[in-house]
Structure 1
């Protein structure tokens, strides 16, 4: 088989220099402040609405189809403004 399809929560794919994670987050659930020092981050909203903060200052309201890219040395935090599903791609620098 040439391709793999996944549609579940958790670690979906992992290679030598990347990981793809899907998270299901309920309304009001928070993402505590954290970073991924050695990775580039691509944060994609599949369903719902997310309020995301970078370094506690820069605010982004993300809806389905929105993709946020940032250097993992920055701290991310946020909360679900609706029941949400997100994909996070982490790429090793």
Structure 2
């Protein structure tokens, strides 16, 4: 089965689930300049973030990274995660279940 969705057509702000009830969890995150998501974690998930447009400060644990449009980041969801938009931003996040060892 193939499903194709346009990011702009997804419902929900700041989070919109692209494929509800499907794995991996795929989210469009939309933040206005100055808006942030409070620190949180995603236990047992590996996360890939692709910044479609804008610029964010991505805090992962104790470190903060500047992410600009076109950048892709991969990180462990077991740590605290907090993105803050320094300008209006849209990101696509894929939260994959961590494979067993």
Hey, which of these two has a bigger chunk of strand by percent?
Answer: 1
Q: What is the alpha-carbon distance in structure 2 between the residues aligned to residue 13 and residue 6 of structure 1?
A: 11
Higher relative contact order (CA 8 A, sep 6+): 1
Match of 1:73 in 2: 78
Aligned partner of 1:13 among 19, 36, 39: 19
1:47 and 2:53 matched: yes
The gaps in structure 1 that reach 5 residues or longer are: none
List structure 1 runs of 4+ shifted beyond 3 angstroms: none
Match of 1:81, SS state, is strand
Aligned partner of 2:67 among 36, 39, 62: 62
The gaps in structure 2 that reach 5 residues or longer are: none
Tell me the CA shift for residue 89 of structure 1.
0.4
Contact 2:35–2:84 under 8 Å retained in 1: yes
Match of 1:30 in 2: 36
Match of 1:78, SS state, is strand
Equivalent pairs, count: 91
Q: What is the alpha-carbon distance in structure 2 between the residues aligned to residue 3 and residue 78 of structure 1?
A: 28
Quote the RMSD (CA, aligned, Å). Answer: 1.6
